[in-house]
Amino acid sequence: MDISPQCFSILLVLCIFIQSSAHGQSLKPEPFGRRAQAVETNKTLHETKTRFLLFGETNEGCQIRINHLDTLQECGFNSSRPLVMIIHGWSESVQFSRSHVHLIGYSLGAHVSGFAGSSIGGTRKIGRITGLDAAGPLFEGSSPSNRLSPDDANFVDAIHTFTREHMGLSVGIKQPIGHYDFYPNGGSFQPGCHFLELYRHIAKHGLNAITQTIKCSHERSVHLFIDSLLHAGTQSVAYLCSDMDSFSQGLCLSCKKGRCNTLGYHVRQEPRSKSKKLFLVTRAQSPFKVYHYQFKIQFINQTETPIQTTFTMSLLGTKEKMQKIAITLGKGIASNKTYSFLITLDVDIGELIMIKFKWESSAVWANVWNTVQTIIPWSTGPRHPGLVLKTIRVKAGETQQRMTFCSENTDDLQLRPTQEKIFVKCEIKSKTSKRKIR
C-alpha cells in the first residue's frame, strides 16, 4: 500500500484489560457519561499496562512511554503531519495543533472519541472525528452531550452499516450523529453478510464463521474506511437523499451545492449546522466502489391492463460492455408513464454509447400473446398491440453526465415479448428527435 502522498502518523492505543487482583481493587460499575471534573490519579498504583504504539511509514509500531518525551523523537514523531488516533491520547507538553488531530472510533469507540473531543477545554476543537458504525444501544435517541455529535470536533463524519433492529434495538446507531452521515446500502444491512453466506465464511474463517457472519455488517464500516485508503484513485461517492427508497429510484444522484461527497478518509470536510444524510450502493467485497446511474424510461402500454414482466439491458460504453442487467418494474407497466430506477455497475464502462433493451418473456407467453391478438378481430387498437418505448434517459452519478437514447429503428417503436431493440444517443428538441449514432 502506497500512501506516501499523504503520510500520516497513527497512534494506536492497545487497551489491555487488567484484572482486579492486579491492584487489589474490585471492579464496581460506575455511572457512564461525561464527568464534570477529572478523577485524581492514585500514584501508588503500579505502572499502567496500556501500550501506546506509533505507526509511521513502516508497519512496525514504536512504543511511546508515558512521561518520556524522548521516546517521541526516538519513534520519529513528525508534528507537521496529520495525526490519526485510534481512541485518543497525546501529551499537552508537545506543541501540536489540535486541528491536526483525527480520532477514529468503531462501535462504542465512536462515542468514546466524541467524549474525548468534547472534554477538551478551550475554544479550539480537535480537527476531525470519524464514527464507524457507532454503537446504538443506550445511545439511540440520546442527547448530543451523551453520544458522538457534530459539536465534538471541527468536522464529524459517520458511517452507518448495521442499523437493522432486533427487538427494538440495533447494533449500530441509526440517527445522524455527524456533519455528514453515510448510509451504505441504506445502512441497515450489508451485501455479503447474510446467513446464506455462512458456507463462504466457514471456508474462510473456520469455526469462527458464525461470529464473523453476525458481526459482518457491523465491521463493514471499518473495511469501507480502509478501502478508501487502499484505493485512493477510485473513491466511493455518496449522495444526499431522504431515504433509501428514493435513492433506489435514482432520484438523488445530484452533486449540486454539495449534495454528494466521498466516503472515507478523503471526505470533503464541510462543517454545517445541520447533519446531511448521504446514501450509496457498494459491492460485497473490496474494492467496494460501484458506479451509479439513473435510468428514466417512458412506456406507452397499448393494452388495457398493466403488464408485469422483466426486462434486460446490455450497456455498451467506451471502455467496457455490460451484459444483461435485469429490471422488474414494481406493479407492472401502466399506460403512458415514466419509470425511474437506479442501476449500479461494478466496473467503469466509460461513456455510455449504446443500450440493448429486451423484453424477457418465455416462449409460452409469447405464443399466448400472439394468439390473443389474433382471436380478437373486433379490437379497435393496433393489430399487434404491445409496448412502445419512446426514450431512455440516463444520468451518470459519478460524472453527472446526462444522456438521451432513442430507438435505432425509428420506423418501428413497438417492443414485443422476446424482442430486443437497440437504442443510441439522440438529442430531443421539442417533440421531434434527431438521432446521432456514435
For residue 207, the domain's CATH number is 3.40.50.1820
H helices of 190-297, in order, are: 198-205, 209-214, 216-230, 244-248
H helices of 208-321, in order, are: 209-214, 216-230, 244-248
Number of residues written out for the chain:
438
Q: Is residue 110 part of a domain?
A: yes
Q: Averaged over 32-54, what is the pLDDT?
A: 53
| DSSP code of residue 231 | T
Q: How confident is the model at residue 406 (pLDDT cuts 50, 70, 90)?
A: very high
What does the block give as the cell for 106? 468503531
The H or E element that residue 51 is part of is: strand 51-55
Q: Which of 272, 289, 306 is the last residue of a domain?
A: 289
Residues 259, 296 share a domain: no
Q: What pLDDT shows up at residue 419? A: 85
Best CA proximity match to 184, nearest among 165, 158, 166, 210: 158
Which one is catalytic: 113, 118, 133, 407?
133
Q: Is residue 97 part of a domain?
A: no
Q: What pLDDT shows up at residue 33? A: 43
Strand pairing of 9-14 and 51-55?
A: antiparallel
Cis amide leading into 385 (omega within 30): no
Residues 310, 298 share a domain: yes
Exposed (0-12), middle (13-18) or buried (19+): which is 367, by Cβ within 10 Å? Answer: exposed
Q: Is residue 14 part of a domain?
A: no
Residues 332, 272 share a domain: no
Question: Which one is predicted more confidently, 306 or 92?
Answer: 306
Residues 191, 108 share a domain: yes
In contact, 167 and 139? CB cutoff 8 Å = no
**Is 99 known to be catalytic?**
no
In contact, 321 and 359? CB cutoff 8 Å = no
Q: Is residue 265 part of a domain?
A: yes
Q: Averaged over 9-34, what is the pLDDT?
A: 37
| DSSP code of residue 5 | G
Q: What pLDDT shows up at residue 221? A: 97
**Is 340 known to be catalytic?**
no
Residues 165, 115 share a domain: yes
**Is 133 known to be catalytic?**
yes
Tally the domains of the chain.
2
Q: What pLDDT shows up at residue 182? A: 98
Tell me the average pLDDT of the chain.
79
Which one is catalytic: 9, 107, 217, 221?
107
Q: Averaged over 215-238, what is the pLDDT?
A: 94
Residues 260, 234 share a domain: yes
Q: Which residue in this structure is represented by grid cell 478501502?
A: 227
Which one is catalytic: 102, 218, 223, 292?
218
Q: Which residues are annotated as a binding site?
A: 147, 152
Residues 128, 248 share a domain: yes
Q: Is residue 6 part of a domain?
A: no
Q: What pLDDT shows up at residue 80? A: 85
Q: Averaged over 70-80, what is the pLDDT?
A: 88
Residues 252, 168 share a domain: yes
**Helices vs strands, H then E, count in the chain:** 7, 23
Q: Which residues are annotated as a binding site for Ca(2+)?
A: 147, 152
- Reduce the DSSP state of residue 4 to 3 states and report it: helix
Give the residue numbers spanning the domain of 330: 292-372+383-425
Q: Which of 271, 289, 307 is the last residue of a domain?
A: 289
Q: What pLDDT shows up at residue 304? A: 64
Q: Is residue 218 part of a domain?
A: yes
One-letter amino acid for residue 396 of the chain: A
CA 131/CA 103 separation, integer angstroms? 8
CA 354/CA 407 separation, integer angstroms? 10
Exposed (0-12), middle (13-18) or buried (19+): which is 19, by Cβ within 10 Å? Answer: exposed
Question: Which one is predicted more confidently, 297 or 55?
Answer: 297
For the entire predicted model, the pTM comes to: 0.75
Q: Is residue 45 part of a domain?
A: no
Q: Is residue 31 part of a domain?
A: no
Residues 107, 199 share a domain: yes
Q: Averaged over 2-22, what is the pLDDT?
A: 39
Has residue 17 got a pLDDT over 70? no
Residues 323, 252 share a domain: no
Residues 327, 252 share a domain: no
Q: Which of 268, 289, 310 is the last residue of a domain?
A: 289
Q: Averaged over 183-204, what is the pLDDT?
A: 79
Residues 278, 352 share a domain: no
To the nearest 10°, report the CA torsion of 396, 399, 403, 408: -80
Looking up residue 351, the CATH number of its domain turns out to be 2.60.60.20
Exposed (0-12), middle (13-18) or buried (19+): which is 47, by Cβ within 10 Å? Answer: exposed
One-letter amino acid for residue 34 of the chain: R
